[in-house]
Structure 1
Amino acid sequence: MKTIKTLGLAVATLSVAMSVTTWCQAGEAASTPSSAQGASTTAGSGAAALTGRKADRALRRKVYAAIGKYKEINAGDISVIAKDGAVTLNGTVTEAAQIGKAEAIAQGVPGVTSVTNKLTVKKPFGGM
């Protein structure tokens, strides 16, 4: 009977250890002894990834704010995606000239290396 309980406990412990390792996010060390060696290397890369995400969010906010300063462009219909300095503009504008203007504004923001412009002109209600 003791052997069965011990074996069950060992299986449960192994199951928990595998679950923790599987569900840990990149850069976080699992709380199991088997991953203690790799904790220092994965923690360093995770910190760099977190900094990259923060930088992307900050760049996205800067581009969005720069476009928002121009009242003739409705920035509420434009979404900005930033990844390592590359910016993608999605959404709609009311006039064709605003497409190029939004791209030029985004390109002028410090930290932007390239701009992919996927903006389209919004057709007025009723299709005319």
Structure 2
Amino acid sequence: MKTIKTLGLAVAALFVAMSTTTWCHADEAASSPSSAQGASTTAGSGAVATTGRKADRALRRKIYAAIGKYKEINAGDISVIAKDGAVTLNGTVTEATQISKVEAIARGVPGVTSVTNKLTVKKPFGGM
């Protein structure tokens, strides 16, 4: 019984030591100027991914703001997904004419490169 507990503690200590070492090396690579090509590529790709996500979120906000200017369209029923300028519209609108209108609004926002429109018309209660 004592052997099993000792072995478990040793394994736990090994995991803690390994994770601490990994965290230390990650901090060194991120904080120190690197001379190796691989280390600079790794640090740079993280910064690009963060910048890309920020740009995608900013583009989504711009599209929602543009849709919000049209009071007849309920932007709360529309979801916007933006990835590197490519926009996907999901959700529902109250009238069929609003589907193309929302797509045109999204295309008019600066930074949008393409629009995939998956909007549908919301059926009224009662199913008719």
Q: What interval of TM-score do these two structures reach, taking the shorter chain for normalisation? A: 0.7 to 0.9
Matched, 1:32 2:25: yes
Instruction: Name 1:113's counterpart in structure 2.
Output: 113
CA distance in 2, matches of 1:75, 1:11: 51
11 and 101 in structure 1: CA distance in 2 versus 1, 3 angstrom threshold: closer
Runs of at least 5 residues in structure 1 that lack an aligned partner in the other structure = 22-29
Q: Secondary structure at the match of 1:127?
A: coil
Superposition RMSD on alpha carbons, in Å?
2.6
Calculate the TM-score normalised by the size of structure 2.
0.76
Higher helix proportion: 2
Runs of at least 5 residues in structure 2 that lack an aligned partner in the other structure = 1-5, 30-35
Instruction: Name 1:97's counterpart in structure 2.
Output: 97
Give the conservation status (yes or no) of the 8 Å contact 1:17–1:32. no
Q: Which amino acid aligns with 2:91?
A: G
1:17 shift after superposition: 4.9
What does 1:47-126 align with in structure 2 at a 5 Å threshold?
47-126=47-126
81 and 17 in structure 1: CA distance in 2 versus 1, 3 angstrom threshold: farther
126 and 9 in structure 1: CA distance in 2 versus 1, 3 angstrom threshold: closer
Q: How many residues align?
A: 112
Deviations 1:41-75 (A, max 9, x none): 32211011000000000000001110111111111
Calculate the TM-score normalised by the size of structure 1.
0.76
